[in-house]
Structure 1
């Protein structure tokens, strides 16, 4: 079978060096819709270098992309058809606020392999640290269709009970027609998000928005709406990618407050609230 779970889990971690500048942070923020209105003081903290704050989800693109995912799919014991690969979920843990400019060492490994019957799930973990210590831990849950059924551990369920009651806030965020074209400049060059012909071959009517772009838009909405705009309050952020979003559509973001956390559900407003992100939790101070 193309995935040898024991071999993948036993493989030595892979390390690399990454760096980023305020320009990279600003480009990421613009890629997730920051800067509207352009002169709003609350937006300038995402776009103006003299007062730049770093949204924690920048960690998913720091160093121009997701080297942990790319490296993980070529680890010993992992030999898969990329056409069968789906990004199923993401969990980010922030150990301390991200600097606007930095250099870090990343270490990537296969942290878990689960057998879901009709699919295998790889948990690809990337840890980043600089001279002052750990910065973040990033877990990408990757579904590989057709690679399950070997009798392995099914793993924990990522499904959560629905939030109770009405959301405390509902906000909408318009996604620009060129949002995916701008976001991909931060490092995800998959033609699925830009090339109409490639998107059709993959089964979509047109290019889709990056799941991690929706992930960033959503975190920014939570920080701006319920966390007083303070990016340093975020401790962790997890989601399950439940559906696609197309550039030009509107994200509807529902939020529920809990003890030290915000539960979130994200849908496509124009498509009868079709789910886009589910089982989404932002833990905070």
Structure 2
């Protein structure tokens, strides 16, 4: 896969968007755009959120749900775990410290470079793999657990195919848990202010959110699905759905992530966590 072109950055350090639209976007377009966006955005993203993510911690979502309290993955000691969309890999390092045999996967070389550096700094190194979740270069039935903390599935065009790949690499009885944008957030404005809670688009509009550069080239793609779409995708991949977790805002937590905020989180859900297993 050739490297994506370098993206111009805005004053906030993130890739500058020349335009925004809702339209269809396939697998190849989504993979290429999001790989380039995260390569370019890695420094700004980690400067903004790195303290909250931690160097060795497992944060499921902006609401503040952490695996140490949630136990969605069960006892990982001695288990082989694949993290999809690891970013700078704080979750993978947390899992490694908990005794898991971890492989951390991400589409972005920029994020994996940060993961490698933090592995050296913390002394908790994990194997890093650059790959697309829709085409995992891994043997079937080779993992006990697959997890993804906002790291992959919202950016995947063919989520059914991605979940089928997850099911393929899971051993029978293996568990998968993945946090994604709550579908309820899509009809609402991208604002942390509860005064902005008004419906501005259709919940049933499944067209992806697409950002383009000044010449109309795609630089970022995020895909929308309803709750029912997610359930059908999980079941269609041959997995058994065990739980749908809608985290409530952690008391005392003050961090704001985009439209996620304490005030808004007290009123509407922002995250959906899918928990399933391979029978």
TM-score by length of 2: 0.26
Give the number of the structure whose residues are more often helix, by fraction.
Answer: 2
If each structure's strand is expressed as a fraction of its own residues, which one has the higher value? Answer: 1
Q: Which has the higher contact order (CA 8 A, sep 6+)?
A: 2
Which TM-score applies when normalising by structure 1?
0.25
